[in-house]
Amino acid sequence: MTVSLYLFVISLFVLVVYLVLKSVEYSFCVFHGQIPFVPSAGRLRRAVVNEINSHYAYMQTACDIGAGYGGLARCVSRKCGKRVWALESMPMTAAILWVLNLFSFGRVKTVWCDAFEYLKTSDGFDIGIAYLGPGVNWRLREYSEKFRVLITLDVPIDGLHPVRTIDVGRGFTRYGRKKFPHRLFVYEL
Protein backbone atom coordinates (compact mmCIF):
# COMPACT_ATOMS: atom_id res chain seq x y z
CA MET A 1 0.00 0.00 0.00
CA THR A 2 2.81 2.43 0.74
CA VAL A 3 4.33 2.00 -2.75
CA SER A 4 1.03 2.82 -4.43
CA LEU A 5 0.58 5.80 -2.10
CA TYR A 6 4.07 7.07 -3.02
CA LEU A 7 3.30 6.63 -6.71
CA PHE A 8 0.05 8.51 -6.28
CA VAL A 9 1.75 11.38 -4.44
CA ILE A 10 4.53 11.56 -7.04
CA SER A 11 1.97 11.53 -9.88
CA LEU A 12 -0.03 14.25 -8.19
CA PHE A 13 3.13 16.33 -7.67
CA VAL A 14 4.12 15.94 -11.34
CA LEU A 15 0.61 16.96 -12.42
CA VAL A 16 0.67 20.07 -10.21
CA VAL A 17 4.13 21.07 -11.49
CA TYR A 18 2.95 20.55 -15.08
CA LEU A 19 -0.17 22.69 -14.53
CA VAL A 20 1.85 25.47 -12.86
CA LEU A 21 4.41 25.52 -15.69
CA LYS A 22 1.67 25.52 -18.35
CA SER A 23 0.00 28.45 -16.53
CA VAL A 24 3.29 30.35 -16.51
CA GLU A 25 3.74 29.65 -20.24
CA TYR A 26 0.18 30.75 -20.96
CA SER A 27 0.66 33.98 -18.97
CA PHE A 28 3.94 34.64 -20.79
CA CYS A 29 2.20 34.23 -24.15
CA VAL A 30 -0.66 36.54 -23.23
CA PHE A 31 1.68 39.16 -21.74
CA HIS A 32 3.93 39.21 -24.84
CA GLY A 33 1.08 39.16 -27.36
CA GLN A 34 1.85 35.63 -28.50
CA ILE A 35 -0.74 32.98 -29.09
CA PRO A 36 -0.94 30.32 -26.38
CA PHE A 37 -0.78 26.74 -27.60
CA VAL A 38 -3.97 25.76 -29.43
CA PRO A 39 -4.10 22.25 -30.90
CA SER A 40 -4.90 22.19 -34.61
CA ALA A 41 -8.26 20.66 -35.39
CA GLY A 42 -8.29 17.45 -37.44
CA ARG A 43 -10.13 19.28 -40.20
CA LEU A 44 -7.28 21.84 -40.43
CA ARG A 45 -4.61 19.11 -40.48
CA ARG A 46 -6.46 17.26 -43.26
CA ALA A 47 -6.77 20.47 -45.29
CA VAL A 48 -3.03 21.18 -44.96
CA VAL A 49 -2.15 17.61 -45.98
CA ASN A 50 -4.53 17.80 -48.96
CA GLU A 51 -3.05 21.14 -50.08
CA ILE A 52 0.54 19.88 -49.84
CA ASN A 53 -0.19 16.57 -51.58
CA SER A 54 -2.24 18.27 -54.32
CA HIS A 55 0.13 21.11 -55.17
CA TYR A 56 3.53 20.58 -53.53
CA ALA A 57 4.14 16.82 -53.40
CA TYR A 58 7.56 17.27 -55.05
CA MET A 59 8.88 19.45 -52.20
CA GLN A 60 10.98 17.78 -49.50
CA THR A 61 11.13 19.91 -46.34
CA ALA A 62 8.62 21.69 -44.15
CA CYS A 63 8.80 23.88 -41.07
CA ASP A 64 5.98 24.06 -38.50
CA ILE A 65 6.35 27.46 -36.84
CA GLY A 66 4.93 27.34 -33.33
CA ALA A 67 4.42 23.60 -33.37
CA GLY A 68 2.84 23.16 -29.94
CA TYR A 69 2.68 19.42 -29.28
CA GLY A 70 3.45 18.73 -32.96
CA GLY A 71 0.27 17.06 -34.17
CA LEU A 72 0.34 19.02 -37.42
CA ALA A 73 4.09 18.46 -37.92
CA ARG A 74 3.78 14.69 -37.43
CA CYS A 75 0.71 14.55 -39.68
CA VAL A 76 2.55 16.37 -42.51
CA SER A 77 5.57 14.12 -42.04
CA ARG A 78 3.53 10.91 -42.04
CA LYS A 79 0.93 11.70 -44.72
CA CYS A 80 3.02 13.86 -47.06
CA GLY A 81 6.40 12.17 -46.65
CA LYS A 82 8.17 15.40 -45.71
CA ARG A 83 11.07 16.00 -43.33
CA VAL A 84 9.62 18.52 -40.84
CA TRP A 85 11.27 20.92 -38.41
CA ALA A 86 8.91 21.62 -35.48
CA LEU A 87 9.82 24.97 -33.89
CA GLU A 88 8.48 25.74 -30.42
CA SER A 89 9.51 28.52 -28.02
CA MET A 90 7.77 27.47 -24.79
CA PRO A 91 10.04 25.14 -22.76
CA MET A 92 7.40 22.83 -21.26
CA THR A 93 5.55 22.51 -24.56
CA ALA A 94 8.86 21.90 -26.37
CA ALA A 95 9.77 19.15 -23.90
CA ILE A 96 6.44 17.39 -24.52
CA LEU A 97 6.89 17.94 -28.27
CA TRP A 98 10.33 16.34 -28.13
CA VAL A 99 8.98 13.26 -26.33
CA LEU A 100 6.06 12.88 -28.76
CA ASN A 101 8.38 13.29 -31.75
CA LEU A 102 10.53 10.37 -30.57
CA PHE A 103 7.92 8.20 -32.28
CA SER A 104 8.24 9.97 -35.64
CA PHE A 105 11.33 7.89 -36.51
CA GLY A 106 13.52 10.90 -37.21
CA ARG A 107 11.14 12.52 -39.72
CA VAL A 108 10.26 15.37 -37.34
CA LYS A 109 13.06 17.38 -35.74
CA THR A 110 12.14 19.26 -32.56
CA VAL A 111 13.79 22.66 -32.14
CA TRP A 112 13.28 24.63 -28.92
CA CYS A 113 13.83 28.21 -30.02
CA ASP A 114 12.33 31.53 -30.89
CA ALA A 115 11.10 30.65 -34.38
CA PHE A 116 11.92 34.03 -35.85
CA GLU A 117 15.48 33.98 -34.49
CA TYR A 118 15.88 30.46 -35.88
CA LEU A 119 14.62 31.52 -39.30
CA LYS A 120 17.19 34.34 -39.42
CA THR A 121 20.02 31.81 -39.49
CA SER A 122 18.38 28.90 -41.31
CA ASP A 123 18.95 28.08 -44.98
CA GLY A 124 15.20 27.94 -45.51
CA PHE A 125 12.55 25.34 -46.19
CA ASP A 126 10.34 24.33 -49.07
CA ILE A 127 7.13 24.73 -47.07
CA GLY A 128 6.36 26.82 -44.01
CA ILE A 129 3.26 26.17 -41.93
CA ALA A 130 2.13 28.61 -39.26
CA TYR A 131 -0.83 28.47 -36.91
CA LEU A 132 -0.17 31.77 -35.23
CA GLY A 133 -2.43 34.69 -34.46
CA PRO A 134 -2.85 38.22 -35.74
CA GLY A 135 -0.48 39.61 -33.12
CA VAL A 136 2.40 37.51 -34.48
CA ASN A 137 1.49 36.46 -38.03
CA TRP A 138 2.63 39.74 -39.58
CA ARG A 139 6.22 38.86 -38.66
CA LEU A 140 6.16 36.03 -41.20
CA ARG A 141 6.32 38.64 -43.95
CA GLU A 142 9.92 39.44 -42.89
CA TYR A 143 10.96 35.80 -43.40
CA SER A 144 9.01 35.01 -46.57
CA GLU A 145 12.26 34.53 -48.52
CA LYS A 146 13.00 31.49 -46.32
CA PHE A 147 10.13 29.53 -47.92
CA ARG A 148 8.96 28.55 -51.39
CA VAL A 149 5.42 28.13 -50.04
CA LEU A 150 3.93 29.44 -46.82
CA ILE A 151 0.62 28.17 -45.44
CA THR A 152 -1.04 30.00 -42.57
CA LEU A 153 -4.04 28.66 -40.69
CA ASP A 154 -7.00 30.93 -39.90
CA VAL A 155 -5.13 34.26 -40.08
CA PRO A 156 -3.71 35.86 -43.26
CA ILE A 157 -0.40 37.70 -43.39
CA ASP A 158 -0.91 41.44 -43.72
CA GLY A 159 0.83 42.80 -46.81
CA LEU A 160 1.04 39.48 -48.68
CA HIS A 161 -1.57 38.21 -51.12
CA PRO A 162 -2.36 34.48 -51.02
CA VAL A 163 -2.54 32.51 -54.26
CA ARG A 164 -5.34 30.47 -52.68
CA THR A 165 -7.66 30.86 -49.72
CA ILE A 166 -9.28 27.60 -48.74
CA ASP A 167 -12.39 27.60 -46.57
CA VAL A 168 -12.05 24.55 -44.35
CA GLY A 169 -15.64 24.61 -43.15
CA ARG A 170 -17.09 24.62 -39.68
CA GLY A 171 -15.10 25.95 -36.80
CA PHE A 172 -13.09 28.96 -35.85
CA THR A 173 -10.23 30.06 -33.64
CA ARG A 174 -10.77 32.89 -31.19
CA TYR A 175 -7.98 35.41 -30.70
CA GLY A 176 -9.05 37.86 -28.05
CA ARG A 177 -12.64 38.75 -28.80
CA LYS A 178 -12.44 38.14 -32.54
CA LYS A 179 -13.33 34.87 -34.26
CA PHE A 180 -11.30 33.68 -37.26
CA PRO A 181 -13.07 31.00 -39.34
CA HIS A 182 -11.02 27.93 -40.24
CA ARG A 183 -9.23 28.78 -43.48
CA LEU A 184 -5.89 28.12 -45.12
CA PHE A 185 -4.02 31.00 -46.73
CA VAL A 186 -1.47 29.72 -49.27
CA TYR A 187 1.38 31.97 -50.39
CA GLU A 188 3.81 31.02 -53.16
CA LEU A 189 6.95 33.03 -52.65
Residue 179 to residue 83: CA distance in whole angstroms: 32
Domain ranges (residues) in the chain: 1-32, 42-188
How many alpha carbons fall within 13 Å on the CB side of residue 94?
17
pLDDT tens by residue, 69-99? 899 999 999 999 999 999 998 887 888 889 8
Q: Which of 13-17, 32-36, 64-68, 117-121 has the lowest mean pLDDT?
A: 32-36
Residues 34 and 136 sit within 8 Å (Cβ to Cβ): yes
pLDDT at 42: 85
pLDDT at 182 over 80: yes
First to last CA, the chain: 63
Write down the CATH superfamily of domain 42-188. Answer: Vaccinia Virus protein VP39 (3.40.50.150)
- Mean pLDDT taken over the chain: 87
- Alpha helices in the chain, H assignment, sequence order: 2-31, 42-55, 71-80, 91-101, 115-121, 134-137
Residue 166 to residue 176: CA distance in whole angstroms: 23
pLDDT at 1 over 90: no
